[in-house]
Amino acid sequence: MDAALSILAAKALDLVPDGARVGLGSGRAAEAFVRALAERARQGLRVRGVPTSEATARLAQALGIGLDTLDAPEPLDLTVDGADEVERGTLNLIKGRGGACVRERVVAAASLKQVILVTPEKLVDRLGERGQLPVEVLPFAAPFCARRLAAMSGLRPELRKTTQEKPFVTDNGNWVLDCGVGPLDDAAALDRALRALPGVVGTGLFLGTASLVLVGRDGRVEELRPAGA
Protein backbone atom coordinates (compact mmCIF):
# COMPACT_ATOMS: atom_id res chain seq x y z
CA MET A 1 0.00 0.00 0.00
CA ASP A 2 1.20 3.53 -0.82
CA ALA A 3 2.82 5.08 2.29
CA ALA A 4 0.96 8.38 1.83
CA LEU A 5 -2.37 6.57 1.69
CA SER A 6 -1.50 4.59 4.81
CA ILE A 7 -0.78 7.80 6.70
CA LEU A 8 -4.03 9.35 5.46
CA ALA A 9 -6.02 6.28 6.46
CA ALA A 10 -4.52 6.34 9.95
CA LYS A 11 -5.42 10.02 10.34
CA ALA A 12 -8.99 9.40 9.19
CA LEU A 13 -9.34 6.63 11.76
CA ASP A 14 -8.99 9.25 14.50
CA LEU A 15 -12.32 10.69 13.33
CA VAL A 16 -14.24 7.42 13.77
CA PRO A 17 -15.96 7.11 17.18
CA ASP A 18 -16.71 3.75 18.76
CA GLY A 19 -20.08 2.45 17.61
CA ALA A 20 -20.02 4.54 14.41
CA ARG A 21 -21.79 3.87 11.16
CA VAL A 22 -19.35 4.90 8.43
CA GLY A 23 -19.75 5.41 4.70
CA LEU A 24 -16.99 3.51 2.91
CA GLY A 25 -15.87 5.13 -0.32
CA SER A 26 -14.41 3.60 -3.47
CA GLY A 27 -10.95 3.76 -5.02
CA ARG A 28 -7.38 3.46 -3.75
CA ALA A 29 -7.60 5.97 -0.90
CA ALA A 30 -10.86 4.49 0.32
CA GLU A 31 -9.40 0.99 0.12
CA ALA A 32 -6.51 2.06 2.34
CA PHE A 33 -9.00 3.40 4.86
CA VAL A 34 -11.12 0.23 4.79
CA ARG A 35 -8.05 -1.89 5.48
CA ALA A 36 -7.01 0.36 8.37
CA LEU A 37 -10.55 0.37 9.74
CA ALA A 38 -10.67 -3.42 9.65
CA GLU A 39 -7.45 -3.62 11.65
CA ARG A 40 -8.85 -1.24 14.25
CA ALA A 41 -12.07 -3.26 14.37
CA ARG A 42 -10.05 -6.39 15.11
CA GLN A 43 -8.61 -4.47 18.06
CA GLY A 44 -12.10 -3.83 19.40
CA LEU A 45 -13.53 -0.77 17.65
CA ARG A 46 -17.25 -1.27 17.09
CA VAL A 47 -18.15 -0.05 13.62
CA ARG A 48 -20.46 -0.82 10.72
CA GLY A 49 -19.87 0.32 7.15
CA VAL A 50 -22.13 1.41 4.32
CA PRO A 51 -20.18 0.76 1.08
CA THR A 52 -20.44 2.96 -2.00
CA SER A 53 -19.66 0.14 -4.42
CA GLU A 54 -19.87 -3.61 -4.73
CA ALA A 55 -16.07 -3.79 -4.79
CA THR A 56 -15.85 -1.94 -1.47
CA ALA A 57 -18.57 -4.18 -0.02
CA ARG A 58 -16.63 -7.31 -0.99
CA LEU A 59 -13.41 -5.93 0.50
CA ALA A 60 -15.07 -4.89 3.76
CA GLN A 61 -16.76 -8.25 4.16
CA ALA A 62 -13.54 -10.12 3.42
CA LEU A 63 -11.78 -8.09 6.12
CA GLY A 64 -14.52 -8.69 8.68
CA ILE A 65 -16.21 -5.27 8.74
CA GLY A 66 -19.93 -5.56 9.37
CA LEU A 67 -22.05 -3.94 6.68
CA ASP A 68 -25.07 -1.72 7.14
CA THR A 69 -27.62 -0.05 4.88
CA LEU A 70 -29.36 3.31 4.65
CA ASP A 71 -32.61 1.84 6.00
CA ALA A 72 -32.26 3.49 9.42
CA PRO A 73 -33.35 7.15 9.59
CA GLU A 74 -30.30 8.24 11.56
CA PRO A 75 -27.47 9.76 9.48
CA LEU A 76 -24.10 8.07 9.13
CA ASP A 77 -21.45 9.53 11.42
CA LEU A 78 -19.14 10.22 8.48
CA THR A 79 -18.10 9.02 5.04
CA VAL A 80 -14.45 8.57 4.14
CA ASP A 81 -13.68 8.63 0.42
CA GLY A 82 -11.17 9.79 -2.17
CA ALA A 83 -11.44 12.24 -5.06
CA ASP A 84 -9.98 12.80 -8.51
CA GLU A 85 -9.75 16.58 -8.09
CA VAL A 86 -10.04 18.92 -5.11
CA GLU A 87 -10.36 22.64 -5.77
CA ARG A 88 -8.31 24.68 -3.33
CA GLY A 89 -10.35 27.05 -1.18
CA THR A 90 -13.82 25.75 -2.03
CA LEU A 91 -12.94 22.05 -1.63
CA ASN A 92 -15.32 21.31 -4.49
CA LEU A 93 -14.58 17.91 -6.01
CA ILE A 94 -14.56 15.86 -9.17
CA LYS A 95 -15.13 12.18 -8.48
CA GLY A 96 -16.24 9.15 -10.42
CA ARG A 97 -13.27 7.80 -12.33
CA GLY A 98 -13.85 4.58 -10.41
CA GLY A 99 -17.42 4.47 -11.69
CA ALA A 100 -19.17 4.84 -8.33
CA CYS A 101 -20.14 8.53 -8.25
CA VAL A 102 -23.90 8.02 -7.87
CA ARG A 103 -23.67 5.77 -4.82
CA GLU A 104 -20.87 7.93 -3.45
CA ARG A 105 -23.17 10.96 -3.66
CA VAL A 106 -26.04 9.17 -1.93
CA VAL A 107 -23.88 7.91 0.92
CA ALA A 108 -22.22 11.32 1.36
CA ALA A 109 -25.65 12.98 1.53
CA ALA A 110 -26.70 10.47 4.19
CA SER A 111 -23.67 11.37 6.36
CA LEU A 112 -23.05 14.09 8.88
CA LYS A 113 -19.73 14.85 7.19
CA GLN A 114 -17.67 13.76 4.20
CA VAL A 115 -13.93 13.33 4.71
CA ILE A 116 -11.79 13.18 1.56
CA LEU A 117 -8.34 11.59 1.40
CA VAL A 118 -5.98 12.72 -1.40
CA THR A 119 -2.36 13.11 -2.33
CA PRO A 120 -1.07 16.52 -3.52
CA GLU A 121 -1.42 15.93 -7.27
CA LYS A 122 -5.20 15.88 -6.82
CA LEU A 123 -5.25 19.53 -5.70
CA VAL A 124 -6.17 22.05 -8.42
CA ASP A 125 -6.81 25.77 -8.62
CA ARG A 126 -9.96 25.19 -10.70
CA LEU A 127 -12.00 22.07 -11.23
CA GLY A 128 -11.38 20.45 -14.59
CA GLU A 129 -7.64 21.06 -14.71
CA ARG A 130 -6.92 17.32 -14.80
CA GLY A 131 -9.04 17.05 -17.93
CA GLN A 132 -11.88 14.60 -17.25
CA LEU A 133 -15.41 14.75 -15.88
CA PRO A 134 -17.43 11.49 -15.63
CA VAL A 135 -21.17 11.55 -16.31
CA GLU A 136 -23.26 8.45 -15.55
CA VAL A 137 -26.09 7.87 -18.02
CA LEU A 138 -28.81 5.34 -18.77
CA PRO A 139 -27.62 2.95 -21.51
CA PHE A 140 -30.81 3.62 -23.50
CA ALA A 141 -30.05 7.33 -23.46
CA ALA A 142 -26.29 7.16 -24.00
CA PRO A 143 -26.22 8.14 -27.71
CA PHE A 144 -28.65 11.01 -27.12
CA CYS A 145 -26.73 12.21 -24.05
CA ALA A 146 -23.41 12.01 -25.91
CA ARG A 147 -24.75 14.24 -28.69
CA ARG A 148 -26.15 16.77 -26.24
CA LEU A 149 -22.96 16.80 -24.19
CA ALA A 150 -20.87 17.30 -27.32
CA ALA A 151 -23.01 20.32 -28.16
CA MET A 152 -22.16 21.92 -24.80
CA SER A 153 -19.20 24.24 -24.94
CA GLY A 154 -15.95 22.58 -23.92
CA LEU A 155 -17.23 19.03 -23.40
CA ARG A 156 -15.79 16.09 -25.34
CA PRO A 157 -17.70 12.95 -24.28
CA GLU A 158 -16.37 9.45 -24.85
CA LEU A 159 -18.05 6.23 -23.78
CA ARG A 160 -15.98 4.49 -21.12
CA LYS A 161 -15.08 0.95 -22.19
CA THR A 162 -13.53 -2.10 -20.61
CA THR A 163 -10.31 -3.70 -21.80
CA GLN A 164 -12.54 -5.93 -23.94
CA GLU A 165 -13.87 -2.81 -25.69
CA LYS A 166 -17.31 -3.29 -24.17
CA PRO A 167 -19.16 -0.46 -22.39
CA PHE A 168 -18.11 -0.13 -18.77
CA VAL A 169 -21.16 -0.89 -16.60
CA THR A 170 -21.58 0.72 -13.18
CA ASP A 171 -22.99 -1.09 -10.15
CA ASN A 172 -26.29 0.59 -11.03
CA GLY A 173 -26.31 -0.97 -14.51
CA ASN A 174 -25.54 2.34 -16.22
CA TRP A 175 -22.83 3.56 -18.59
CA VAL A 176 -20.30 6.37 -18.14
CA LEU A 177 -19.48 9.16 -20.57
CA ASP A 178 -16.05 10.58 -19.73
CA CYS A 179 -16.10 14.20 -20.81
CA GLY A 180 -12.85 15.86 -21.74
CA VAL A 181 -12.81 19.28 -20.10
CA GLY A 182 -10.53 22.14 -19.22
CA PRO A 183 -10.67 24.40 -16.16
CA LEU A 184 -14.34 25.12 -15.47
CA ASP A 185 -15.48 28.74 -15.32
CA ASP A 186 -18.77 27.89 -13.58
CA ALA A 187 -18.92 24.35 -12.22
CA ALA A 188 -22.30 24.93 -10.56
CA ALA A 189 -23.93 26.07 -13.80
CA LEU A 190 -22.46 23.10 -15.66
CA ASP A 191 -23.69 20.70 -12.99
CA ARG A 192 -27.22 22.12 -13.27
CA ALA A 193 -27.15 21.82 -17.06
CA LEU A 194 -25.93 18.23 -16.94
CA ARG A 195 -28.51 17.17 -14.36
CA ALA A 196 -31.29 18.72 -16.43
CA LEU A 197 -30.44 16.49 -19.39
CA PRO A 198 -32.84 13.51 -19.62
CA GLY A 199 -30.91 10.27 -19.28
CA VAL A 200 -28.19 11.66 -17.01
CA VAL A 201 -28.19 9.78 -13.72
CA GLY A 202 -25.38 11.63 -12.01
CA THR A 203 -22.23 13.67 -12.53
CA GLY A 204 -18.77 13.66 -11.04
CA LEU A 205 -19.17 17.20 -9.76
CA PHE A 206 -19.43 17.17 -5.95
CA LEU A 207 -19.93 20.79 -4.98
CA GLY A 208 -20.03 21.77 -1.33
CA THR A 209 -20.07 18.20 -0.03
CA ALA A 210 -16.63 17.91 1.60
CA SER A 211 -16.36 18.82 5.27
CA LEU A 212 -12.66 18.04 5.51
CA VAL A 213 -9.91 17.14 3.04
CA LEU A 214 -6.82 15.35 4.32
CA VAL A 215 -3.77 15.72 2.08
CA GLY A 216 -0.84 13.34 2.52
CA ARG A 217 2.37 15.27 1.95
CA ASP A 218 5.98 14.35 2.82
CA GLY A 219 5.06 11.95 5.61
CA ARG A 220 2.54 14.29 7.22
CA VAL A 221 -1.12 15.13 6.80
CA GLU A 222 -2.43 18.60 5.96
CA GLU A 223 -6.02 19.38 6.92
CA LEU A 224 -8.08 21.55 4.56
CA ARG A 225 -11.53 22.89 5.33
CA PRO A 226 -13.91 24.94 3.15
CA ALA A 227 -13.35 28.68 3.26
CA GLY A 228 -15.34 30.15 6.13
CA ALA A 229 -15.73 26.80 7.92
Residues recognised as catalytic = 104
Q: What is the rounded distance in angstroms from the CA atom of residue 210 to the CA atom of residue 212?
A: 6
Q: Are strands 132-137 and 200-203 parallel, antiparallel or unpaired?
A: antiparallel
Give the CA distances from residue 29 to residues 102, 117, 141, 167, 199, in Å, rounded to whole numbers and listed in that order: 18, 6, 32, 25, 30
Print burial letters for 118-148: b (CB count within 10 Å at least 16), e (below 16): bbeebbbebbbeeebbbbbbbeebbeebbeb
